[in-house]
Structure 1
Amino acid sequence: MGLTSKKVLLLAVLVAVALFVLTIWLWPRLSKKSWRAVLGRVGLLLATQLSIFAAVGLAANLSFGFYASWADLFGQEQEPGVVKNYKSGPNGTKLQMLGTQRISVENGAQPAVAGRIDKVMVHGERSKISSPAYVYLPPQYFQKEYADKEFPASVVLTGYPGTAEALYKKLHFPQTQHGLLKEGKMKPTVLVMMRPTVAPPRDTECMDIPNAEQTETFFTKDLRADISGHYRIGKESKSWGVMGDSTGGYCALKLTMRHPEAFSTAVSLSGDYKAPRDATTGDLFGGSKQLERENDLLWRQRNLPAPAVNLLVTSSKQGESNYKNTLRFIEQTKSPTKISSIILDSGGHNFNTWRREIPAALQWLGDRLTV
Structure 2
Amino acid sequence: MGLTSNKVLLLAVMFAVLLFVGTVWLWPRLARRNWRAVSGRVGLLFGTQLALFLSVGLATNQAFGFYASWADLFGQEKDQGVVVNHTGLGRSGGPLQVIDTARVRGVGGSQPQAAGQVQKVDIVGRTTNIATPAYVYLPPEYFQPQYRTRTFPAAVVLTGYPGTAQALVDKLHYPSTAQGLAKNGRMQPMILVMLRPTVSPPRDTECVDIPGGPKTETFFAKDLPDAVLAHYRVGKKPGSWGIIGDSTGGYCALKLAMHHPGVYAAAAGLSPYYKAPIDPTTGDLFQGDKGLRNRADLWWCIKHLPAPDTSLLVTSSKIGESNYKATLKFIEGVRTTNRTRISSIILDSGGHNFNTWRREIPATLQWMSGRLSER
The normalised TM-score by structure 2 is 0.93
Q: Distance in 2 between matches of 1:335 and 1:181?
A: 32
Equivalenced residue count is 363
Q: What residue is the counterpart of 2:2 in the other structure? A: 2
Q: Distance in 2 between matches of 1:8 and 1:169?
A: 18
Q: Distance in 1 between matches of 2:53 and 2:63?
A: 15
Measure how far apart 1:307 and its partner are: 0.3
Is the 1:85–1:97 contact (alpha carbons within 8 Å) kept by the matching residues of 2?
Answer: no
Q: Distance in 1 between matches of 2:314 and 2:354?
A: 16
> Aligned pair 1:342/2:345, yes or no?
yes
Is the 1:151–1:188 contact (alpha carbons within 8 Å) kept by the matching residues of 2?
Answer: yes
Q: What residue is the counterpart of 2:52 in the other structure? A: 52
- Map 1:24-63 → 2, pairs under 5 A: 24-63=24-63
Q: What residue is the counterpart of 2:223 in the other structure? A: 222
User: What do the CA deviations read for 1:31-66 (whole angstroms, capped 9, x no partner)?
Assistant: 333222222222222211111110000000111111
> Aligned pair 1:288/2:299, yes or no?
no
Q: Distance in 1 between matches of 2:106 and 2:32?
A: 60
Q: What residue is the counterpart of 1:302 in the other structure? A: 303
Q: What residue is the counterpart of 1:356 in the other structure? A: 359
Q: What residue is the counterpart of 2:200 in the other structure? A: 199
Q: Distance in 2 between matches of 1:328 and 1:348?
A: 19
- Map 1:78-89 → 2, pairs under 5 A: 79=79
Moved more, 316-325 or 284-293: 284-293
Q: What residue is the counterpart of 1:315 in the other structure? A: 316
Is the 2:95–2:123 contact (alpha carbons within 8 Å) kept by the matching residues of 1?
Answer: no
Measure how far apart 1:78 and its partner are: 5.3
Measure how far apart 1:2 and its partner are: 1.7
Is the 2:78–2:201 contact (alpha carbons within 8 Å) kept by the matching residues of 1?
Answer: no
Runs of 4+ in 1 over 4 A off after TM superposition: 84-87
Q: What residue is the counterpart of 2:130 in the other structure? A: 129
What SS is found at the alignment partner of 2:100? strand
Q: Percent identity?
A: 62
Q: Distance in 2 between matches of 1:86 and 1:210?
A: 30
Letter of the 2:285 partner, please give it: L
Unaligned runs of 5+ in 1: 88-92
User: What do the CA deviations read for 1:214-260 (whole angstroms, capped 9, x no partner)?
Assistant: 11111111111011111011223211111011111001001111111
Measure how far apart 1:86 and its partner are: 6.4
- Map 1:182-261 → 2, pairs under 5 A: 182-261=183-262
Q: What residue is the counterpart of 2:278 in the other structure? A: 277
Q: Distance in 2 between matches of 1:210 and 1:34?
A: 62
What SS is found at the alignment partner of 1:298? helix
Measure how far apart 1:94 and its partner are: 6.6
User: What do the CA deviations read for 1:334-371 (whole angstroms, capped 9, x no partner)?
Assistant: 12000011111111111111111111110110111112
Is the 1:115–1:139 contact (alpha carbons within 8 Å) kept by the matching residues of 2?
Answer: yes
Is the 1:16–1:55 contact (alpha carbons within 8 Å) kept by the matching residues of 2?
Answer: yes
Q: Distance in 2 between matches of 1:184 and 1:190?
A: 16
Q: Distance in 2 between matches of 1:78 and 1:292?
A: 28
User: What do the CA deviations read for 1:241-288 (whole angstroms, capped 9, x no partner)?
Assistant: 110111110010011111112211100011111112211111111123
Is the 1:105–1:114 contact (alpha carbons within 8 Å) kept by the matching residues of 2?
Answer: no
The normalised TM-score by structure 1 is 0.94
Is the 2:95–2:126 contact (alpha carbons within 8 Å) kept by the matching residues of 1?
Answer: no
User: What do the CA deviations read for 1:6-38 (whole angstroms, capped 9, x no partner)?
Assistant: 121111111111111212222232233322222
Letter of the 1:237 partner, please give it: P
Q: What residue is the counterpart of 1:90 in the other structure? A: none
Measure how far apart 1:85 and its partner are: 6.6
Q: Give the CA RMSD over aligned residues.
A: 1.6
Is the 1:198–1:215 contact (alpha carbons within 8 Å) kept by the matching residues of 2?
Answer: yes
| C-alpha distance 306-94 of structure 1, shift in aligned 2 (>3 A) | closer
What SS is found at the alignment partner of 1:340? strand
Q: Distance in 2 between matches of 1:134 and 1:34?
A: 59
Q: Distance in 1 between matches of 2:274 and 2:53?
A: 33
- Map 1:130-145 → 2, pairs under 5 A: 130-145=131-146
Q: Distance in 2 between matches of 1:362 and 1:63?
A: 22
Q: Distance in 2 between matches of 1:40 and 1:94?
A: 59
Q: What residue is the counterpart of 2:85 in the other structure? A: none
Is the 1:108–1:115 contact (alpha carbons within 8 Å) kept by the matching residues of 2?
Answer: no
What SS is found at the alignment partner of 1:368? coil
| C-alpha distance 15-219 of structure 1, shift in aligned 2 (>3 A) | same
Measure how far apart 1:152 and its partner are: 0.9
Is the 2:95–2:125 contact (alpha carbons within 8 Å) kept by the matching residues of 1?
Answer: no
What SS is found at the alignment partner of 2:120? strand
Measure how far apart 1:159 and its partner are: 0.7
Is the 1:224–1:235 contact (alpha carbons within 8 Å) kept by the matching residues of 2?
Answer: no
